[in-house]
Structure 1
Amino acid sequence: MPKHYLLYVEQPYSFAILRPIQDAIRANGDKACWFITKRSGIANGLLEGEQQLKNIEDVKNFNPCAVFVPGNVVPDFFPGVKVQVFHGLEYKKKGHFAIRGFFDLYCTHGPLTTEPFTRLAEKHRYFRVIETGWPKLDPYFNYEKRQNEKPVILYAPTFSPNLSSLEILFEQIKSLASSGDYDIKLKFHPKTKPQWQKLYQTLAEMEHFEICQNDNLIPLIQHADVVISDTSSAVDESLLLGKPVITFNNSQPQDALINITAAEQLTNALEQALSFSDEQQLKINQYITQVHPFTDGNSAQRILAATAQIIETGVMQKPLNLLRRYKIRKALNYMKLK
C-alpha cells in the first residue's frame, strides 16, 4: 500500500524546496499531497497534477506518515512525523537554531548546521538530527553555464529591515543598470516592505533592469555571473553553485565572500567578482564542504530514508508547548484537542 506524505506550505518559496521531495515520493510509488495555509493566499502556486488538501479533516483522512516543513512551525494535531527541512541555508541569521518544540526530525545540510543541531538534540532529547542535504538544490547541480552577452548581475537582498541593503544600494544599482554594461536582475524576498518594492519599481522601465517574479531563486543564480546580496539565504545558495558573491555588511562575512561596508565600494567589488581568481574559487570550494557537501542531487531521497528511520524507531514525547499550539490552532481556526 502506498505511503502518504504531506507537504506543508506557508510561503511561495516553499514550493521549490518541497517539489524534489514530492518527486522522490512519487518515484518510490508513494503519494504526496499539499496543505497550503489559507492566509498565505498562494494556492495558485500548485502545478497541474499536484493535489491540495483544503482543510484539516482532509489531512486527517489522508493520514500522512510524515509532514515536511520548510518553516518554523507545523500543526501538532496533523498526523505523522514532523520533519524540518528548512527554508534556507542562512545559518547565520538569528533564530536559525531556535527550537520551537514542533519537530521530530531536523534534516540538516552540512557540518555547519549538523553539529549545532546535534548538540541541541542532546540537550532537549526529544528530536533527532540527520544530515541529508537540502532538497531545493537537487535539480540544479548539473547544469551548463550559458554565455551571457553582457554580465548578468543578480541582486537578491534580504527583507529584514536590520540587514537589508535595498535602500542603501539603490543609487548604485540604478547606476549599474543605466550604464548599459550589465543586465541587472532583482529578486525580492516575498516579505520585502512594499515601500522598498515601489522604490525599485521606478527602475522597471530601464532596458537593462528586471524585477524577477520567479518564486525559485536557483535558476536565476545559475544564469547570473555575479550575485549581490547582504545577509540572505541567497548568499549560500549562490556560493554552493560556485558563483562569486558580493555582500553588503554581511553579519558574519567569511573568506568566500567579497564583503563591502560602504555603497561606493560596489563598483570595485563588481570588477573583482568578474575577474575571479583561483584563490577565491578555492575559498568557495572549502566553504561548500562545510555548508552543503552533497552534490549528487539525492538529498530528497536521503530525507525520505531519514524519515523512514524515525518512523521505524518511533518519535519521542515533545514538550507541551501550549502557547505555540494555541497560536497555530487560532491561525487555522481549529480548536479541537486532537
Structure 2
Amino acid sequence: MPKKYLFYISQNYSFAILRPLQAEIQRRGGDVKWYLEPNVNASYLATDEEQLTTVEAVQVFNPFAVFVPGNVVPSFIPGIKVTVFHGFDAGKLDWKGKNTHFRVRGCFDLHCSYGKDMTKQFDALAETYKTFKVVDTGWPALDPLFTTDTALNPYISNKDNRPTVLFCSTFSPRFSCAPHIFDAIKKLSESGKWRWLVQFHPKMGADIVNKYKQLESENLTFIETDNVIPLLKSADVMLCDTSSVLLMFLLQRKPVVTFKGNQQGEHLINVSSPEQIESALIDALKQPDELMQHIDDYIKYIHAYTDGNSSARVLDAVDNFTFDSLKTKPLNLLRQLKLRKKLGYWKLS
C-alpha cells in the first residue's frame, strides 16, 4: 500500500516549491494529491497531477502527511502537518517590529527548516511551545537549482552574449522598489548594454505590472511564471529589494544588488538611490574576490545543502516523525473558523 501525501497550497508559486518533493515521493512509490485554496489557479497543475476539490475528498484520501509551503493549514484535514516554508527569511517585520518568518501560528507538527540560523531559532521556539518538532532538511524547492540541466532553459539565449540582469521585486508597497526605480530601469534597458529579465511577486499590483510590461523590447522581457528556478539560472546578476528570492539567487554564487533593502551585510551590494544602480551592477558583474568570499560565507549560513537532495531529507524526517513528547496544539478557533469560511466547510470533524 503506497504512502499517501497531500500538498495543500494557497499561492500559485507553491507548485514549483513542492514539485521536487512530489518527484521524490513518486520515486519512492508514494501517492500525491493536491488541494488548492480557492484563489489558486488550477491551470498550473500538470496533466498527471490530481486535484482533490473538496475537504470531504481529502478526508477520504486520508493522507499520511500534509505538506504546506505557507503559514497555515486547517486542523480538520488529516495527516501530519508539515511546513516546508514559502521562502527564505527576508527580514520582513510586522507592525510590531517582529520578524514574520519566525511567527508560530500553532498549525504544524513538523517544521522542515534550512540553514544554521533558521534551525537554531526554530529549535528555541520548539523548546518554548513544545507543540512541534524541527528538522534541518534543506528546502525542496532548491533541488532543481543544483540538479537541473540548463540546456532546455527558455530564458538562456545562445545568440545574445550580453550580461543578463534579473530584476525581481516583492508586492508590498512598503517594501517594493518597483514603483521607485521605473525610470532608472527604463533608461538602463534602453541603453542596450545588458539583457533584462523582469519578474515580480504574483501579488504585485496590476498597475505596476502593466507599467513594466510597456518596457518590453529586444533588451527587456517581462515574465510571469510559477517557477523562478530557470530565471535564477539564466541571469548573471540580480537587482532586487527585500524579496526572499534574492537569497535563492545568492546560493548560485551570483551577486545581488539591493535597492533600499532591509537586509544588511557584506554579501550584498545595497544602494539607496536610482542613480547608483548602474555602477552597482557594473561592480557586481565583475564578481570581486572580497564580495564572493562574503557570499560563500553567507551560503554556509543560510543553506549549506547544495546536493539537490533536500526533498529526500524532508521525506525521511516525516517518516521518522512521532508525536512523542509533544503537547496538544492550541485550538486556534478564530484562525480555523476563517479557514472553514474560506473553504466552505462547516462539518464537525
Using structure 1 for the length normalisation, give the TM-score. 0.96
**Match runs of 1:207-222 below 5 Å:** 207-222=218-233
Structure 1's unaligned 5+ residue stretches are: none
For residue 11 of structure 1, what is the aligned residue in structure 2?
11
Measured in 1, the distance between the counterparts of 2:27 and 2:213 equals: 42
The residue aligned with 2:123 is 118
> Deviation at 1:252?
2.0
Task: Give CA-to-partner distance per residue, 1:278-324, whole Å, 9 cap, x none.
Answer: 22111111001110000111101111111112247586410011110
Equivalent residue of 2:39, what SS?
helix
Aligned length: 336
Determine the C-alpha separation between the residues in 1 that align with 2:258 and 2:202: 20
1:54-133 map, 5 Å: 54-94=53-93, 95-133=100-138
Q: Specify the SS of the correspondent of 1:2.
A: coil
1:232 aligned counterpart, secondary structure: coil
How do 1:1-338 and structure 2 match up within 5 A? 1-40=1-40, 42-94=41-93, 95-142=100-147, 149-204=161-216, 206-311=217-322, 313=324, 316-338=327-349
> Structure 1 vs Structure 2: percent identity of aligned residues?
45
For the Cα contact (< 8 Å) 1:150–1:183, is it kept in 2?
yes
Residues 163 and 91 of structure 1, relative CA distance in 2, 3 Å threshold:
closer
Contact 1:7 1:68 in 2 (8 A): yes
**1:214 CA displacement:** 2.2
Matched-pair contact (CA < 8 Å) for 1:186–1:211: yes
Tell me: CA distance 1:298–1:222, structure 2 relative to 1, closer, same or farther (3 Å): same
SS where residue 23 of structure 1 aligns? helix
Deviation at 1:27?
0.8
Q: Does the 8 Å contact 1:138/1:300 carry over to 2?
A: yes
SS class of match (2:200): coil
Separation in 1, partners of 2:197, 2:320: 42
CA distance in structure 2 between the aligned counterparts of 1:331 and 1:214, rounded to whole angstroms: 25
Q: What displacement does 1:39 show?
A: 2.8
1:256-291 deviation line (CA, Å, top 9, x unaligned): 101111111001101101111122111111001110
The answer to whether the Cα contact below 8 Å between 1:17 and 1:136 also exists between their aligned partners in 2 is yes
Describe the superposition over 1:188-223 as per-residue Cα deviations: whole angstroms up to 9, x where unpaired. 10010111112212212x221111122111110110
Q: What is the letter of the counterpart of residue 112 of structure 2? A: C
| 1:152 partner letter | T
Alpha-carbon separation, structure 2, partners of 1:82 and 1:254: 34
- Distance across 2 between alignment mates of 1:124 and 1:68: 21
1:38 is paired with a residue whose SS is coil
Query: What is the letter of the counterpart of residue 198 of structure 1?
Result: N
Deviation at 1:337? 2.1
Can you give the 5+ residue segments of structure 2 that lack an aligned partner in the other structure?
94-99, 151-155
Amino acid at match of 2:248: E
Residues 143, 62 of structure 1: alpha-carbon distance in 2 compared, 3 angstrom cutoff: closer
Q: Take 2:149 and 2:74, find their aligned partners in 1: how far apart are those partners?
A: 41
Distance in 2 of aligned mates of 1:66 and 1:144: 31
Give secondary structure in 2 for the equivalent of 1:19: helix
Does the Cα contact within 8 Å between 1:90 and 1:232 map onto a contact in 2?
no
For 2:309 and 2:147, how far apart are their aligned partners in 1?
A: 12
Distance 2:257 2:179 in 1: 16
Q: C-alpha deviations, 1:46-94, integer Å up to 9, x for none?
A: 1121111111111011100100000111111000000010000134123
Aligned-partner Cα distance in 1 for 2:312–2:325: 20
Give the corresponding residue for 2:153.
none
Instruction: Write the distance in 2 (CA, Å) between the matches of 1:85 and 1:27.
Output: 19
TM-score where L is the length of structure 2: 0.93
Task: Verify the 8 A CA contact 1:91 1:113 in the aligned structure 2.
Answer: no
Q: Amino acid of the residue matched to residue 77 of structure 2?
A: F
Secondary structure in structure 2 of the residue aligned to 1:73: coil
